[in-house]
Each structure stands twice: as C-alpha cells, then as structure tokens.
Structure 1
Amino acid sequence: MTRDGGSGAAGVDPQQLWLKPAQPRRGRRPAFSREAITTAAVALADTEGLEAVTMRRVAQRVGAAVMSLYSYAPDKETLLELMVDHVSGELPTTGAPTGDWREDLKTIAHLQRALMLRHPWLPAALSTRRTPGPNTLAFLERALAALRPTGLDGAARLEIFAQLTAFVAGHVAHEVAQSAAARSPDRAAAEARYLAAVAADGHHPELAEALSAPGRPLTPEATFTRFLNRLIDGLGTE
C-alpha cells in the first residue's frame, strides 16, 4: 500500500518490522513512539472503523506532524500489521493444554471471538495476509500445542488453526453486520414477512420445512457455540 492505503509493490518486510527496533530519524527526540502510534490507530479504528485510519488522522491523535510518523510506520500496510499484533497481545497465552484438543480449540475460538468483538475492524484486517508479530506468534504457539494430541504434523496443525481463525473472523463479521441490521426493526420485520411468503408459495419445500423446525437459542453466544461445535467436532485427524 501507499502511505495512506494504496497498493504498494514492495509490501512489508517482516524481518525489518518485527526483528529490528523502530528507529526514529535523526534529530530531536520525538515525543511519541511506535507503541503510541499503534495505540492511537487502534483507538481510531475501534471508534470509527478501519477506513478512518489514515496516517494524517493518527498523527492528529498523537499530536505530531504526518511526516514524523513514517520512520515508525512508513505506510498504512505496516500500520495495520502493527495494529493486528498489538490487539493480539490481549489474547492469553499461558496455561497448559488440557489434552482434549477439541475443547482446547473451542476455548481458543471463543477467545478469538471476544477479541474481534472488542475490535470489530479486526476480521477485515485479517482478510489480507498478515505477517505474525510477537503477540500473534505467542498465541499461535498455544494453539499448536493444543493440537499436538491429534498426532498431525506441524503443517496440518497450522492449517487447522488458519481454518479456525477464518471461521471466527467470518462469523464475527456477519455477527457485527446482523447486530447493525437488528437496530432497524422495520427492516427485520420486512425480511420476516418476505421469508414467510416464500415459504408459503409451494416452490420452496425445503426452506418451508427448515423455517417450520423448532427454534434454537438465537443469542449471539449460543449461535456461535453451535456453529463452532459443528466445525470442531467434525474435524478429523487424518
């Protein structure tokens, strides 16, 4: 990306980003740090959405000139990398696996969901490839250790974790969108009337049967848990 979000050819060099400390340009010592810039960007995304995060807006939040930020985060792509890893530091990484890998995975998924609900921009940020920073790697270690009882090789365990994360991100994105739609009762009522009419037209018997089935708990937590159980309980070890 370019500095404020366009696509760039070079991309982020993960070794430069994560293994070498941020070095400000020569001159007077700045009154902020890469951590402060990242924290400001996260706060902006939390309140106004990911599209609101620009280098100019972040500079305003930390009280700095835009150009002074570029030695810490040379473009928005780098800033997103920093933001993702920053919030990943909220995920707990301590505690030994129980030995029941399915239950451990479910715990991991619930932790991921809670994180993404606190930071609703995170699923969109994860939709493009991100290089794992130190916080992300620490949580990945926990997940891979939880999967060791499967007997799968490391590559397969990485695939399962990626599949789980993609499921959680997709579900949370849908959950957030549904929550926004629910704030419009007229729209919800109109959709219910439409589905009732479709189910009664005689051309959609499978849908009519599905809609007439006994209801299940529809709270966000119950729905997520039901979907998650289907996913993880169906995972094999081959």
Structure 2
Amino acid sequence: MAPARAATANPGKEHATVSDDARSGAAGVDPEQLWLRPAKPRRGRRPSFSREAITAAAVALADAEGLEAVTMRRVAAEVGAGVMSLYSYAPDKETLLELMVDHVSAELEITDPLSGDWRADLKTVAHLQRAHMLRHPWLPAALSTRRVPGPRTLAFLEHALAALRPTGLDGAAKLEVFAQLTAFVAGHVAHELAQSAASRSPERAAAEARYLAAVAADGRHPELAEALSAPGRPLTPDATFTRFLNRLIDGLDTD
C-alpha cells in the first residue's frame, strides 16, 4: 500500500488531495451512522450525483479492474465530481467498500421457499453465494474485512438463518454456521479464480503434471502416489464445488 499523501494547504477546495489511508479511521466504519442515518450532501449547490451513484461507479470499477482500481479519485472521475465532494457520502474507502458489498447483495434474490430440509436449503444458499462472487470477483477479498451487514445483506442473512431453524441450533450457533459457510465459499471462489487464471497457460499446466508424476514415482511419497493414482473425478468447477460443499454441510454436527 502506498504511503499516505499529505493534504494540500487548503483542504476545503475540490482539488485538495487527501489519501484514502488518511481518511480511514482506526475505529472502522460506524454501522449506525452508515445504515440508519441517511447520507446528506454538503451545503451549497445540489450535487449531480448520489451515494447510490457513487457506489455503483465503484462496483463497476471493481468488476472491470479489480478492487485495487477503486480509489476515491477514480470514483470521483467516474461520476464527474471533485474528490472532496465524495467524502460526505463515503468518508473513506472502508466505508465505500461496505456500501459496495451491500449494493451487490441486492442481487441475492430468494425466489424459492425453503424446503424444510436444512442441508439442502443451506447448499442452495452456498450455490447462490458462489454465483454471486463469480459475478463480482473482488467480493471474496472484500468479505474478509467486513464486520456488520447492511440492509440488503441482512435480507439474505435472514433467509440463511431461517434455513437453519430445523436444526434446533441456538442463534449464536446459526450465525457461526453461516459465517463458516460464507468463509468456505469465499475461499473456494478465490482459489477457483486463481486456478482459472493459471489454466490459461498450457505450458504451466503441463509442467505441473510432469512435476506431480515425478514426485509420485520417487518412492518417498507413497500416500500421495496412491491418491494420484485413484480414479479421476469430474473436475469441472461446478462439480468440484458441489463435492466440497457436500462434504462440509453433510458433516455439520448440530448436537
């Protein structure tokens, strides 16, 4: 991360430079301030943008170029505003990230009612999360730093907790299961995206295959050799995710 840049002598002007690092408070985002109190623009002429427009622009940047591309300066340019005018809507990048995650959570629409089979319903939740994260590849990294869900995210959380009602788990345990599931999906998608990028190099894939064959044949790794010689399983991303997910959810203990 680049070091924070000092503000210019007159920070009140629109062209003043204030780094995202300097704007990020050590205490983190105040969810009450963010979600329960409407954003208000600075006094003066009514701006031609809104918090929703700022968030949508940030999401579009992240989808196209990755989370690193999302800076207050880039977002300001996308909405045609001065950098300083954004800070009354999103005082720092951490807040903007919270807004972005909740913004895209509106896509997690639940159309089918719960079946009453909590394992099946939880698997459906996980598949929805995976598809969602694949649409927005920056989400796994963003979710690793979030703490309090926003209003759109809460709707999906409510559905997941309702899916767990037949288990008889208490509220704290249900939240832990949902956190565990989300962490699994985020980690799997991050790995899936990395593998997809690596597979674009046939030379690398061939080198990895030769390496593993040599390791399996050296006599010093019998367990690995046996594992590699086992009958193959479908290696499509969907099939792999489903196998891993089934192992996780089918093995959950609700006692």
TM-score by structure 1 length?
A: 0.97
- Asked if 1:26 corresponds to 2:26, the answer is no
Uncovered stretches (5+) of structure 1, i.e. residues with no partner: none
Aligned residues: 238
Secondary structure at the residue paired with 2:211?
Answer: helix
Uncovered stretches (5+) of structure 2, i.e. residues with no partner: 5-17
- Asked if 1:46 corresponds to 2:68, the answer is no
CA RMSD, aligned part only? 1.3
Output the amino acid matched with 2:99: L
CA contact (8 A) 1:93 1:138 kept: no
1:147 to 136, 147, 164: 164
Query: Which residue pairs with 1:217 in the alignment?
Result: 234
Output the amino acid matched with 1:4: D
Alignment partners' CA distance in 1, 2:213 and 2:134: 31
Q: How far 1:93 sits from its partner (Å)? A: 3.4
Q: How far 1:92 sits from its partner (Å)? A: 1.2
2:94 to 62, 77, 91: 77
Q: How far 1:4 sits from its partner (Å)? A: 1.7
Q: Please give the residue correspondences for 1:1-238 in structure 2 after superposition, counting only pairs within 5 Å.
A: 4-5=20-21, 8-238=25-255
Alignment partners' CA distance in 2, 1:57 and 1:69: 11
Alignment partners' CA distance in 2, 1:184 and 1:163: 33
CA contact (8 A) 1:99 1:149 kept: yes
Q: How far 1:141 sits from its partner (Å)? A: 0.3
Q: How far 1:193 sits from its partner (Å)? A: 0.4
Amino-acid identity (%)? 85
Structure of higher CA gyration radius? 2
CA contact (8 A) 2:98 2:146 kept: no
CA contact (8 A) 1:101 1:150 kept: yes
Alignment partners' CA distance in 1, 2:108 and 2:59: 16
Secondary structure at the residue paired with 1:45?
Answer: helix
CA contact (8 A) 1:12 1:78 kept: yes
